[in-house]
Amino acid sequence: MQTIIFILPEILLSLSIMTLLMIGVFLKKKAFRLINLLTVITLLFAAALVLNQSTETGKIFGESYIIDSLSIFMKVLTLLFSSFVLITSKDYVKTIKIDKIEYPIIILAATLGMILMISSYDLIVFYLGLELQSLSLYILAAFKTDNEKSTEAGLKYFVLSALASGLLLYGCSLIYGFTGSTNFEIISNNLNETNTGAVFGIVFIIVGLAFKISVVPFHMWTPDVYEGSPTSVTSFFALIPKIAAITVFIRFMYVPFINVIDHWQIIIIFLSIASMILGAFAAIGQNNIKRLMAYSSIGHMGYALAGLATGTNSGIQSTIIYLTIYLIMNLGAFACILTLKRENIYYENISDLSGLSKNHPLLSLCFLTILFSLAGIPPLAGFFAKFYIFMAVIESQMYTLAIIGLVTTVVSAFYYLRVIKIIYFDKPKKPFDTNYEWGLKISLVASSLLILVYFIYPSILIEAISSIAIY
């Protein structure tokens, strides 16, 4: 009975996928609005079930599945932001004619895969979750089948993601071969620095995970997929998979591989530095706002990895705080992008934002707040996110990493300020439509307010995360 209580959210999502699919088949084309609404309700209800587990922790299914403070927090984030993506994009998917019943169901399936990854305490469980997520994301990237860019994005993501999954699987098989187990704790006990084969396995696993969170040099798919996919799908790509992948990074590095930290720490530092530098410089010349957000996400994942590279609990906590604030900022940013509609056509070029403040002052203010926060300008939430990361890095005496992080923050501020300059000082264009969906308004206002008022009471988030300790 205890086991069933632990996996109630997963059972709910699995049953919902099958039930919603049947409802959709019977009701056919008229069912999208209903299926979308039921999917959102399912995700929110699952989040409530996860929160209900907050007093109970433990391992089930032969210690292959774990429920702890880390998994509970990350699952709640995943479920909440998945529901927000569906809420914000309801009008968009209808306008570009991808309002098919499969759309919310595939998002639900991807979310289920991510939840399995978050709680995995065994290589096999982790890989099952990963494949469920990946298969769903392949379909989502190419969902707009009559669009050449979307099809190309889906194909590119499929080929490169399949390669990354293959490397991950090879890494997992090496770990199993040299340690004799797929369970994280047993691997940790059997793993030591002289076990060269297992160390190679760790490298392959890091490469696969680095692809999933799109960090340098495994970022090559990100700009094209972000630009080519429908904007609603891009917002999903930018937010939700990052949560699962970062959780798995924490789980892998700090449980089975903590004994060989000297081998993987330098790799994480390299990935972090390279991502921060590329994210800062490559975004400068971009004209498409979704491509700019792609390079921005690469840079932000570099900062998140800087916290993980420390090898300390404070580093883990700073990464989770950073990720949470990053999700709020990106949700707001994509909500802003989804408002750029005129006569049923969505605009994605940065030049289309020209003089936005003259016609849409409130939208421009929200955009300004979000962009300043992404740049790390005090006293906005984005500043505190980076501050926590740098504090953890400096505490671990990684001064070079901290200096590079500070320099790239200054450089990245340039392209955010460029967008703000276009919004406020360039010649205005024809106004965009203002009949926004209520979900879009809520997401936009909520994310902007959270970014603005975070400095008043930051301890809420810090207290929620302070209980998370891996070792």
Please report, rounded to a whole number, the percentage of residues in the chain having pLDDT higher than 90.
3
* CA-wise closest residue to 118 among 78, 85, 83, 82: 78
pLDDT score, position 471: 57
pLDDT score, position 54: 64
Q: Which residues pair with 120 in a beta bridge?
A: 65
Give the integer Cα–Cα distance in Å for 10 and 360: 42
pLDDT tens for each residue of 232-287: 888 888 888 888 888 888 888 888 888 788 888 888 899 999 998 888 888 888 88
Its pTM stands at 0.91
Is residue 317 pLDDT above 80, yes or no?
A: yes
Residue with tokens 């975070």: 454
User: Cα–Cα–Cα angle for 423, 425, 426, nearest 5°?
Assistant: 75
Q: How many independent structural domains does the chain possess?
A: 1
Q: Is residue 471 part of a domain?
A: no
Integer Rg of the chain from CA: 21
Give the integer Cα–Cα distance in Å for 51 and 237: 24
pLDDT score, position 233: 86
Give the integer Cα–Cα distance in Å for 386 and 85: 25
Q: Is residue 195 part of a domain?
A: yes
Averaged pLDDT for residues 12-32: 83
pLDDT tens for each residue of 129-143: 888 888 888 888 887
* Domain that residue 376 falls in: 2-466
pLDDT score, position 458: 76
Under DSSP, the state recorded for 147 is -
Q: Is residue 427 part of a domain?
A: yes
Averaged pLDDT for residues 416-423: 86
Averaged pLDDT for residues 40-53: 87
Give the integer Cα–Cα distance in Å for 352 and 135: 34
Task: With both helix axes pointing from N to C terminus, report the angle between 231-254 and 102-119 in degrees, rounded to the nearest 10.
Answer: 10
For residue 26, name the pLDDT band (cuts at 50, 70, 90).
confident
Is residue 447 pLDDT above 80, yes or no?
A: yes
For residue 193, name the pLDDT band (cuts at 50, 70, 90).
low
Q: Is residue 94 part of a domain?
A: yes
**φ/ψ of residue 337, rounded to 5:** -60, -35
- 408 vs 64, 315, 327, 382, CA distance in Å? 40, 20, 20, 14
Averaged pLDDT for residues 428-439: 79
User: Is the torsion defined by CA of 462, 466, 297, 142 positive or negative?
Assistant: negative
Here the tokens at position 320 are 């989770």
Q: What does pLDDT average to over the chain?
A: 84
Give the integer Cα–Cα distance in Å for 461 and 346: 35
Here the tokens at position 247 are 């959780």
Here the tokens at position 444 are 């936009």
Give the integer Cα–Cα distance in Å for 299 and 303: 7
Q: Is residue 304 part of a domain?
A: yes
Q: How many CB atoms lie within 10 A of CB 471?
A: 10
Please report, rounded to a whole number, the percentage of residues in the chain having pLDDT higher than 70.
97
pLDDT tens for each residue of 103-133: 888 999 999 999 998 888 888 888 898 888 8
pLDDT score, position 429: 79
Q: Is residue 388 part of a domain?
A: yes
- 41 vs 31, 45, 80, 140, CA distance in Å? 15, 6, 10, 21
pLDDT score, position 202: 86
